[in-house]
Chains A and B, each alone.
Chain A
Amino acid sequence: MNENLENEKKDTENEEDDSEFIIDFTTSSAINRVSLKFLVVYIPIFWFSGIAVATFWYGYTVSSVPWIIKLLFLPLILLGFSFLFIFTCFFFSKLLLIFINLIHLPKEGIFRTERGDMDFEFWRLRTEIKKITLWLLRNWPLPWIDVIAFRWFGIKMDFSSHLNDAWCDAEFISFGKNVTVGQGAVIMSSMVVGNYLIIKKIRFDDYALIGGQSTIAPGTHFGEDTVLGAVSVTTLNQKLEDGWIYSGIPARKLKPNKYAEMRRDIIHKVDVDEEEKVETEHEVNIDDDKKHLIKRGNGGDNK
Chain B
Amino acid sequence: MSTPNSMRVGPFCASVLVKKKYLILYIFLIWLSLLPAILEIWWYWQMLWYELRPLHFYVFLPLFLIVIYVSTVFASIFFTKILLLIISIFHKPREGTFLRDPADKDYRYWSLRNTIKKWPTWLAHKFPFPFLDNICFKAFGVKTKFSNSLFEGWVDTEFIEFGKNVVIGQGAIIQSSVIIGNFLIIRKTVIEENVRVGAHVIIMPGTHIGKNCILNTWSSTMVGQELKEGWIYNGSPAKEFKKNRFFEDIPIEKLTKTIGDMDGLLKKYDETRVARVTKKRKSLKRKDKEENTTEEKGLK
Do A and B make up one complex?
Answer: yes
B11 within 8 A of A: no
Name B6's closest neighbour in chain A (CB-CB).
Answer: A165
Q: Are A54 and B1 in contact (CB under 8 A)?
A: no
| Residues of A in contact, count (CB < 8 Å) | 74
Is A33 touching B149 in the complex (CB atoms < 8 A)?
A: yes
In the assembled complex, which residues on chain B have CB atoms less than 8 Å from the CB atom of A34?
130-131, 134, 146
Contact yes or no, B66 A46, CB < 8 A:
yes
A58, A110, A134, A192: the one contacting B256 at CB < 8 Å is: A110
B151–A32 contact, CB under 8 A? yes
Residues in chain A near residue B265, CB distance under 8 A: 24, 235, 250
**Which A residues, 1 to 60, have Cβ-Cβ distances below 8 Å to chain B?**
18, 20-35, 38-39, 42-43, 46-47, 49-51, 53-55, 57-58
Q: Which of B22-30, B93-101, B214-222 interfaces with chain A?
A: B214-222
A interface, over-half SS: mixed
Contact of A249 among B62, B65, B218, B244 (CB under 8 A): B218
Residues of A within 8 A of B255 (CB): 21, 23, 110, 196, 198
| Cβ contact within 8 Å between B58 and A30 | no
Q: Say yes or no: is B128 at the interface (Cβ < 8 Å to chain A).
A: yes
**8 Å CB interface, A189-240 against B:** 192-196, 198, 213, 215, 231, 233, 235-237
Do B200 and A53 touch (CB < 8 A)?
A: no
If A18-B257, A30-B168 touch, whether A61 touches B53 (CB-CB below 8 Å) is yes
* Complex partner residue of B53 from A22, A50, A62, CB under 8 angstroms: A62
Complex interface residues of chain A between 234 and 273 (CB less than 8 A to chain B):
235-237, 249-250, 252
B interface footprint on A67-99 (CB within 8 Å = 1, 0 otherwise) = 000000000000000000000000000000000
Chain B positions within 8 Å of A51 at CB level: 58-59, 62
B240 CB, min distance to chain A CBs, angstroms: 12
8 A Cβ contacts from B37-51 to A: none
In the assembled complex, the Cα of A31 lies from the Cα of B250 at a distance in Å of 22
Q: Does B180 contact A (CB under 8 A)?
A: no
B residues near A61, Cβ cutoff 8 Å: 53
State in angstroms the CA–CA spacing of A146 and B259 once bound together. Answer: 35
Question: Among B1, B250, B260, B269, which residue has the most Cβ atoms of chain A within 10 A?
Answer: B1
Q: How far is the CA of A34 from the CA of B132 in the complex (A)?
A: 10
Q: Kindly list chain A residues whose C-beta atoms are within 8 Å of the C-beta of B126.
A: 139
A166 lies within 8 A of chain B by Cβ: yes
Q: What separation, in Å, do the CA atoms of A33 and B247 have in the docked complex?
A: 19
* Chain B interface residue bracket vs A: 35 or more
Are B1 and A193 in contact (CB-based, < 8 A)? Answer: no
In whole angstroms, how far apart are the Cα atoms of A264 and B254 in the complex?
42
A179 within 8 A of partner (CB) = no
Cβ of B129 under 8 Å from chain A? yes
Q: B247 — nearest CB in chain A belongs to which residue?
A: A194
Cβ of B258 < 8 Å from any Cβ of A? yes
The yes or no answer to B273 lying at the interface (CB within 8 A) is yes
Cβ contact within 8 Å between B217 and A49: no
Closest-CB distance, A125 to chain B (whole angstroms)? 13
Which of A25, A150, A215, A236 interacts with B200 by CB under 8 Å? A215
Closest to A132 in B: B128
Complex contacts, A144 vs chain B, CB 8 Å: none
Q: A25 near B170 (CB under 8 angstroms)?
A: no
Q: Is A122 an interface residue (CB 8 A)?
A: no
Contacts of A30 in B (CB 8 A): 149, 151-153, 167-170, 199
| Contact A22–B200 (Cβ < 8 Å) | no
Chain B nearest CB: distance from A197 CB in Å?
A: 11
Q: A20 and B242: CB pair below 8 A?
A: yes
CB pair B196–A193 under 8 Å, yes or no, is yes
Whole-angstrom CA separation of A233 from B217 in the bound complex: 7
> Could you tell me the distance between the alpha carbons of A55 and B58 in the complex, rounded to whole angstroms?
7
- B53, A193: Cβ atoms under 8 Å? no
User: Given A21-B255, A27-B198, A195-B246: A167 and B214 within 8 A (CB)?
Assistant: no
Contacts of A236 in B (CB 8 A): 258-259
A136→B196 contact, CB < 8 A: no
State the Cβ distance, B135 to closest chain A Cβ, in Å. Answer: 9
Q: Closest B residue to A231 by CB, please name it.
A: B218
Q: Contact check: which of B1, B53, B168, B169 meets A168 at CB < 8 Å?
A: B1
Closest Cβ of chain B to A56, distance in Å, is 10
Chain A CB within 8 A of B283 CB: no
Contact of B7 among A18, A55, A184 (CB under 8 A): A184
Q: How distant is the Cα of A62 from the Cα of B57 in the complex, in angstroms?
A: 14
Min CB distance B2 to A, Å, is: 4
Q: Which chain A residue has the least Cβ–Cβ distance from B147?
A: A33
CB of A135 within 8 Å of the partner chain: yes
Q: Please, could you name 10 A-B residue pairs with CB atoms under 8 Å apart, sorted by A?
A: A27-B215, A33-B149, A34-B146, A47-B63, A167-B152, A184-B171, A195-B247, A235-B259, A237-B259, A249-B217
Known: A29-B170, A30-B199, A213-B200. 7 other contacts (CB 8 A): A30-B151, A38-B129, A54-B62, A58-B58, A167-B3, A186-B199, A250-B265
Chain A to chain B: the 4 pairs with minimum beta-carbon distance, closest first: A50-B62, A194-B246, A28-B169, A30-B152
